[in-house]
Amino acid sequence: MRRPTRADAPPRRQRQYGLERRSHVRTEDLTARFPGLLDLVAAWEPASGRD
C-alpha cells in the first residue's frame, strides 16, 4: 500500500478553532490542476436584475 501524498490531497486546507472552521485554498495546486479557473472566478460578475 502506498502512502498518500500532497498530490492526493484536496487543494484546500481546513483547520478547526473551537467551533469555527477556517478553509484555505492552495492556489498553486488549484492553478496547476485547473488552469485559468481562479482568473475566471475572480472576473465573474453577477447578472444585473432578474428576468
In a domain, 4, yes or no: no
Three-state SS string over the chain comes to CCCCCHHHCCCEEEEEECCEEEEEECHHHHHHHCCCHHHHHHHCCCCCCCC
**What is the count of structural domains for the chain?**
1
In a domain, 1, yes or no: no
Provide the pLDDT for residue 49.
72
Question: Residue 27 belongs to what domain range?
Answer: 10-41
Strand, coil or helix: 46: coil
pLDDT tens track for 36-47: 999 999 999 988
The confidence band for 35, taking pLDDT boundaries of 50, 70 and 90, is: very high
What does the mean pLDDT of the chain come to? Answer: 81
Strand, coil or helix: 25: strand
Q: Is 6 a residue whose pLDDT tops 90?
A: no
In a domain, 46, yes or no: no
In a domain, 5, yes or no: no
